[in-house]
Amino acid sequence: MKKILLALVVSAFCMNGQGTNVVITNVGTTFSPDAITITQNDVVTFTLAAFHNAVEVSQATWNANGLTPLSGGFSVPFSGGTVSGSLLSVGIHYYICENHINLGMKGTITVEAVASVPELNTQGDVSVFPNPVKGDLKVQYNSAASNVLEIKLYDLQGKLVSELIPKTEVSGIFSRSISLNNSISAGVYIIRILSGKKSTYQKVMIL
């Protein structure tokens, strides 16, 4: 049964070689979300205002808020468009809005190799599991120092679906079960985990 379920999940993610379509929008002069983690063969669709575009640059250019496009990188026109999986190799892709890089409008896409769907083991000592999930989503956190923990659930269009754990000051061992029964429709979502000052995005399938 477990193998059948795993096969169904992988099939859902990688159907027709296209994978999941993850949507990035803009909120003013900020990409939303501005840092995502996807699986190889996933596609990314930018839905942007008419004066925003998305152009891949090198890490050095990104760090310097520069404008030089990356040779062979992706380029999304003003108003948005779709970046195919063939242009998103495994690794980190850095991109900017040419009109608003002076305001810090930039983002990253981290592409992971295709593998069986793992548990959501994310930022440092934060673990969110199981994946896929049906019923209760479990969160475990262990840190000697006091940190802010926040976990939110978004749909693939970037819309906030649920604030699973509001900003909470935690230290030591923290454990919580979050019931998803009848509150969230089945499907693929993005979990944003804020741990201290670091954010991580992960896909999760709710059954």
DSSP secondary structure of 132-146: SBSSEEEEEEEEEEE
Q: Which domains does the chain have, with CATH numbers?
A: 2-112 (2.60.40.420), 120-206 (2.60.40.3080)
C-alpha to C-alpha distance for 70 and 94, rounded to whole angstroms: 9
The answer, yes or no, to whether residue 107 has pLDDT greater than 90, is yes
Residues found in the chain: 207
pLDDT at 18 over 70: no
Instruction: Tell me the pLDDT of the chain averaged across its residues.
Output: 81
Q: How many CB atoms lie within 10 A of CB 65?
A: 14
**In a 3-state reduction of DSSP, which class is residue 78?**
coil
Query: What would the mean pLDDT of 199-204 be, rounded to a whole number?
Result: 81
Please determine, for residue 121, whether its predicted confidence score (pLDDT) is greater than 80.
no
Predicted pLDDT of residue 124: 52
What confidence score (pLDDT) does residue 40 get? 78
Residue 202 buriedness (CB in 10 A; 0-12 / 13-18 / 19+):
buried
pLDDT for 104:
96
The string of pLDDT tens digits covering residues 35-88 is 998 887 788 999 999 999 999 999 999 999 999 999 999 999 999 999 988 888
Kindly report, residue by residue over 21-44, the tens digit of the pLDDT. 889 999 999 999 999 988 877 889
Q: How far apart are CA 93 and CA 35, in angstroms?
A: 10
Collapsing DSSP to helix, strand or coil, 150 comes out as strand
Neighbour-count burial for 116-146, b at 16+ CB within 10 Å, e otherwise: ebeebebbeebbbebbbbeeebbbebebeee
DSSP strand pairing (120-121 vs 43-47): unpaired
Model confidence at 19: pLDDT above 90: no
Residue 115 class from Cβ within 10 Å (0-12 exposed, 13-18 middle, 19+ buried)?
Answer: exposed
> Rounded CA gap, 162 and 29, in Å?
24
Sign of the C-alpha dihedral computed for residues 156, 158, 159 and 163 taken in this order: positive
Residues 6+ apart with CB under 8 A from 107: 24, 31, 33, 34, 35, 36, 54, 94, 95
